[in-house]
Amino acid sequence: NAGVMQNPRHLVRRRGQEARLRCSPMKGHSHVYWYRQLPEEGLKFMVYLQKENIIDESGMPKERFSAEFPKEGPSILRIQQVVRGDSAAYFCASSPIAADTQYFGPGTRLTVL
């Protein structure tokens, strides 16, 4: 049973470009969570999605960031017009039901030049 998959594992973008991060949850999991880990900091919650619905986006920056989890396909975290401060590791987690254990993927490391 494959775990949570994220791609790409490493992503380099220049300032002003767009970054798209993908997350495929574990089989049978319909709840997806995105977290960001800045250097020397803990993970910070960004957004919680179920299929086709955003449940909690209280941790998402108000501008340039968006997330979706379509009926078919992976969850996408999209960052428009990236800035150097967006450089971080972005982790996706999934769970089979709400209020259950969250299993993390390997992360996508975004570097903005």
Partner 1 sequence: QKEVEQDPGPLSVPEGAIVSLNCTYSNSAFQYFMWYRQYSRKGPELLMYTYSSGNKEDGRFTAQVDKSSKYISLFIRDSQPSDSATYLCAIRSNSGNEKLTFGTGTRLTIIP
- The Cα 14–Cα 81 span in angstroms is 9
**Binding window for partner 1 (CB under 8 A); candidates: 13-21, 62-70, 76-84, 95-103:** 95-103
Report the alpha-carbon distance of residue 49 to residue 69 in Å, rounded: 6
**What is the C-alpha R_g of the chain?**
13
Residue 104 in the binding site for partner 1 (CB under 8 A): yes
Residues written for the chain: 113
Question: Would you count residue 49 as binding partner 1 (CB under 8 A)?
Answer: no
Q: List the interface residues with partner 1, window 53-82 (CB under 8 A).
A: 55-56, 58-59
CA 113 centroid distance within chain? 20
Q: Which residues bind partner 1 (CB under 8 A)?
A: 4, 31, 33, 35, 40-45, 48, 55-56, 58-59, 91, 95, 98-99, 101-107, 109
